[in-house]
Structures are given as structure tokens and as C-alpha cells.
């Protein structure tokens, strides 16, 4: 496929804070609001592409933070891209190769380039992804999605929220767990809802010594048990999976397509969660996608409470046919009121969200909301050095 080339003329970054409709507590973190860096890439033809770095304020989910992302983007990633002409966004990783690590920061600038390239070629982002895959990977036009429920103050409260989400139309429920908030929770949920599609996510809260305890979860017909052991571990999971009937899904441990290959080959998991930000971009995501398709590995797209910028891009990827399980990409009103973008994403029939039909990510960033979110970040960022701290 012949593509119109894109010359990167300017890149602006916007650190934001955005209030959440509901805070999401996990075993690893409980941040007061959504933080992110929104990337605005402008081409020489005046086309604007948007990307989102969904990193947190603290190094909890990953080692990257808002501060590291801003530093690496400003000092290294943006200078490496300015003035460059690309014929495909898949050329971006090579331009950033001298910078080791920092996948979320790299993802954000690469995502902006994907959006700009799609818009420059008058096509939806999902179609641009499909153009980089073998024939037969035509986007479905929608993504099947589920909802994630954080750790609550009681089982009763959890059941109340599950009821609400089911009534809203979500077909897959994910519950966050941690030691002391797991077996009894799952038992109560299964007693109340014996037939729902249920999965549990530990966010690395357990060790291999907990294997016998985790085996009790086999009684509850789980879709999967997500990331029970160390956040960067593959080996220990390969010792746990044979002891469980529940299928292990790896999230935090998978940083590349090669990590996925290793995890599947040594039996560390049976399912892969793909977060494009975690693996450093959509180019690597496409490589991981190809591996899963070729090896019949169930695949789904994870979420990091993205704003409409990141949510739109993830939905485009989740609409590819090789994404075979419900993805963690809920409707806009689950997270924000208002979001940074319009129109909002709404839950449709059969627990699906439609992919915008317009070029690129298909949604419009609202400048006034973006500016307000930047102002909130600067007003509330809790880690600025102060004169008192420097004394």
C-alpha cells in the first residue's frame, strides 16, 4: 500500500490531571486523579496527530512516572523526531532506538505519529493498523469490552457495583484482588452471579508460596487469573500455571513480542494482555498481535484509565479480529465527565463499543478541556521540588 509521507514539523506535550468519576483501587496503587502526558504532533502539512502517555505519578504499575516521561520526551524523543519524514509510523521505533527503555514515553510519540499518518491518508486508524497486517485482518468496526472493578470496602459494595455494571450492559466483569481479598470475594460473587463471565486481577500481589491458596480460585470458573506473581516475572509464573486449572494471563511481565513468545513457550501463561503503552508502541503491538494469531493465543487489550485520546487508539487496535477476548476499554462515563475528547464512547449492544468512523483516532480534542486539565496538573502535582526541600 502506497502511503502519503509525513514530515514531523513540531511536537507539543501537555501534562494533565483529570478528575475520575470513580477512583480505581488495585493491590498496587490508588492515585487521586488521572495523570497523563498528551502529545500533539503537527506535520508540515498542518495535520495534527494525538498520542497519550498514560503513566502514573508514582512508579507503581511501571517504573515510568510523569516526571520521567516529561524529561525523556523533551530531552531525547522529540529532538530525535523533529524534521524527520516517514512513509510509515513503523519507522518511528528505529528513530528512537538510541533511547533505552521508557516504553510509555515512546508509545505516546509513536501513537501521535500513527494518528497523523492515518489522517494524512484519510483513513481511520484501525484501517491503518490493518494495512500493516496480512490479508484477512479487516477491523470489525467495534471492540468487545468489559469493565474493571477496584478493591472495595466490602463484598456487599462489590456486589452492588457488579449489579450496576451488568445492568449497564457489560458482559465481562474483572475484579481486582489482593491477599485477604480474593477467595471469599470470588465465592460470594459466584453465589450471587453463577453464570457471569468473571476474571480476577492480582496486579502482582502474590508469590509462588501462595500457590495452594491461589488454587482455591479454580472452584470459581474464571475466564482468567491475571498477573498473580511478580510484575516483571515470567519464570515463577511457569511454575504456577501447571498447578492451576485457571488460565493465567500475563500483563505487567510482557514488554515485547519476545516476552510473549517466551511466556507461552515455557508455559508461564495461556492468555496475553496487550497494553500498547506497556510494549512501547503500536509497531511492537502489531508484532505481538501476529505472534498470538499465528499461535492461537487468546489476546485482549488492557487499559490504563486512558482519556479519549488513548482510549480511541486502543479501541481501534481492539477492533482487529485477532483480539479474541473482551478488552478493558469501558465507556467514557465510566471514567470521566467530561473527557478531553468528543464524541464520548458509549456502550452498545453485546457489550461493544463502536470505533469512530472518521480519519485517525476519530475523536476531537477539546482545547478548553485540555487547557483546564493542564492547569489542574500544575496546581496539584505533589512532587515538585520546593525551596524548603532543597535547603
For residue 74, the domain's CATH number is 3.30.390.10
Name the domain count of the chain.
2
Neighbour count for residue 271 (Cβ, 10 Å): 23
234 and 312 fall within a common domain: yes
Q: Is 174 a catalytic residue?
A: no
Supply the pLDDT for residue 139: 98
184 and 94 fall within a common domain: no
Supply the pLDDT for residue 26: 56
Q: Tens digit of pLDDT per residue, the chain (391 long)?
A: 688 999 999 999 999 999 998 766 554 556 678 999 999 999 999 999 999 999 988 888 899 999 999 999 999 999 999 999 999 999 999 999 999 999 999 999 999 999 999 999 999 999 999 999 999 999 999 999 999 999 999 999 999 999 999 999 999 999 999 999 999 999 999 999 999 999 999 999 999 999 999 999 999 999 999 999 999 999 999 999 999 999 999 999 999 999 999 999 999 999 999 999 999 999 999 999 999 999 999 999 999 999 999 999 999 999 999 999 999 999 999 889 999 999 999 999 999 999 998 999 999 999 999 999 999 999 887 555 444 433 3
Asked if residue 20 belongs to a domain, the reply is: yes
Supply the pLDDT for residue 33: 85
Asked if residue 224 belongs to a domain, the reply is: yes
- The residue behind cell 469501558 is 330
- The residue annotated as part of the active site, out of 34, 174, 275, 391, is 275
Instruction: Cell numbers for 366, please give them.
Output: 477539546
Provide the total of helices (H) and of strands (E) in the chain, helices listed first.
Answer: 14, 15
Asked if residue 386 belongs to a domain, the reply is: no
- The residue annotated as part of the active site, out of 176, 215, 239, 391, is 176
Q: Is 275 a catalytic residue?
A: yes
Find the angle CA(54)-CA(171)-CA(327) to the nearest 5 degrees.
30
- The residue behind cell 520521567 is 68
355 and 370 fall within a common domain: no
Q: Give the residue among 33, 66, 31, 56 at the shortest CA–CA distance from 252.
A: 56
155 and 292 fall within a common domain: yes
Supply the pLDDT for residue 385: 45
State the Cα–Cα distance between residues 43 and 5, nearest whole angstrom. 10
Residue 184: exposure state from Cβ atoms within 10 A (0-12, 13-18, ≥19): exposed
Supply the pLDDT for residue 383: 57
Residues 6+ apart with CB under 8 A from 125: 114, 115, 118, 312, 313, 316, 360, 361, 362
- Is the previous residue joined to 343 through a cis bond, with omega within 30 degrees of 0? yes
CATH number of the domain bearing residue 138: 3.20.20.120
Q: Which helix (H) or strand (E) holds 212?
A: helix 211-215
115 and 160 fall within a common domain: no
Is 311 in a helix, a strand, or coil?
Answer: helix
206 and 105 fall within a common domain: no
Asked if residue 323 belongs to a domain, the reply is: yes
Supply the pLDDT for residue 380: 84
Instruction: Cell numbers for 262, please give them.
Output: 517466551
Residue 22 CA neighbour count, 13 Å, CB half: 14
209 and 252 fall within a common domain: yes
What distances in angstroms separate CA 32 from CA 56, 151, 378, one per listed residue?
Answer: 10, 15, 15
Asked if residue 215 belongs to a domain, the reply is: yes
Q: What is the span of the domain harbouring residue 316?
A: 130-364
Supply the pLDDT for residue 3: 87
Is 45 in a helix, a strand, or coil?
Answer: coil
96 and 194 fall within a common domain: no
Supply the pLDDT for residue 30: 63
Q: Give the residue among 111, 14, 27 at the shortest CA–CA distance from 66.
A: 14
173 beta partners: 147, 198
Is 272 in a helix, a strand, or coil?
Answer: strand
Gyration radius of the chain over CA positions = 20
State the Cα–Cα distance between residues 43 and 249, nearest whole angstrom. 39
53 beta partners: 37
55 and 154 fall within a common domain: no
State the Cα–Cα distance between residues 15 and 29, nearest whole angstrom. 20
Q: Give the distance from CA 173 to its chain's centroid.
A: 17
47 and 165 fall within a common domain: no
202 and 333 fall within a common domain: yes
Asked if residue 79 belongs to a domain, the reply is: yes
Is 274 in a helix, a strand, or coil?
Answer: strand
Asked if residue 388 belongs to a domain, the reply is: no
Under a CB-based contact definition with an 8 Å cutoff, are residues 29 and 56 in contact?
yes
142 and 78 fall within a common domain: no
Phi, psi angles (nearest 5°) of residue 147 = -135, 145
Asked if residue 391 belongs to a domain, the reply is: no
Amino acid at each position: 500500500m502506497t502511503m502519503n509521507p509525513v514530515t514531523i514539523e513540531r511536537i507539543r506535550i501537555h501534562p494533565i490531571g483529570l478528575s475520575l468519576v470513580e477512583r480505581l483501587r488495585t493491590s498496587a496503587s490508588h492515585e487521586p486523579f488521572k495523570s497523563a502526558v498528551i502529545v500533539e504532533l503537527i506535520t508540515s502539512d498542518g495535520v495534527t496527530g494525538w498520542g497519550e502517555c498514560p503513566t502514573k505519578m508514582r512508579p507503581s504499575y511501571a517504573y515510568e512516572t510523569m516526571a520521567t516521561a516529561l524529561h525523556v520526551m523533551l530531552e531525547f524523543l522529540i529532538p530525535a523526531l523533529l524534521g524527520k519524514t516517514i512513509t510509515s509510523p513503523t519507522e518511528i521505533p528505529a528513530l528512537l532506538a538510541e533511547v533505552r527503555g521508557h516504553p510509555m514515553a515512546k508509545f505516546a510519540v509513536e501513537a501521535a505519529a500513527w494518528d497523523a499518518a492515518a489522517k494524512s491518508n484519510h483513513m481511520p486508524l484501525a484501517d491503518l493498523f490493518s494495512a500493516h497486517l496480512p490479508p484477512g485482518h479487516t477491523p470489525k468496526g467495534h471492540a468487545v469490552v468489559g469493565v474493571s472493578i477496584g478493591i472495595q470496602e466490602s463484598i456487599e459494595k462489590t456486589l452492588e457495583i457488579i449489579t450496576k455494571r451488568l445492568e449497564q450492559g457489560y458482559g465481562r466483569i474483572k475484579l481486582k484482588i489482593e491477599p485477604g481479598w480474593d477467595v471469599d470475594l470470588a465465592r460470594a460473587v459466584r453465589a450471587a452471579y453463577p453464570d457471569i463471565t468473571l476474571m480476577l486481577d492480582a496486579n502482582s500481589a502474590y508469590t509462588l508460596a501462595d500457590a495452594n491458596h491461589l488454587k482455591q480460585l479454580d472452584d470459581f470458573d474464571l475466564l482468567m487469573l491475571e498477573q498473580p506473581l511478580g510484575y516483571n516475572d515470567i519464570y515463577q509464573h511457569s511454575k504456577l500455571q501447571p498447578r492451576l486449572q485457571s488460565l493465567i494471563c500475563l500483563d505487567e511481565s510482557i514488554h515485547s513480542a519476545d516476552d510473549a513468545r517466551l511466556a507461552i513457550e515455557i508455559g508461564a501463561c495461556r492468555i496475553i494482555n496487550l497494553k500498547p503503552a506497556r510494549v512501547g508502541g503500536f509497531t511492537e503491538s502489531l508484532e505481538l498481535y501476529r505472534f498470538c494469531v499465528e499461535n492461537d493465543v487468546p489476546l485482549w487489550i488492557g487499559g490504563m484509565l486512558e482519556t479519549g485520546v488513548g482510549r480511541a487508539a486502543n479501541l481501534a487496535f481492539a477492533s482487529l479480529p485477532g483480539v479474541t477476548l473482551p478488552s478493558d476499554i469501558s465507556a467514557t462515563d465510566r471514567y470521566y465527565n467530561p473527557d478531553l475528547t468528543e464524541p464520548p464512547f458509549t456502550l452498545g449492544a453485546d457489550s461493544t463499543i463502536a470505533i469512530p468512523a472518521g480519519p485517525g483516532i476519530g475523536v476531537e480534542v477539546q482545547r478548553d478541556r485540555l487547557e483546564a486539565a493542564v492547569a489542574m496538573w500544575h496546581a496539584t502535582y505533589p512532587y515538585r521540588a520546593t525551596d524548603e526541600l532543597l535547603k
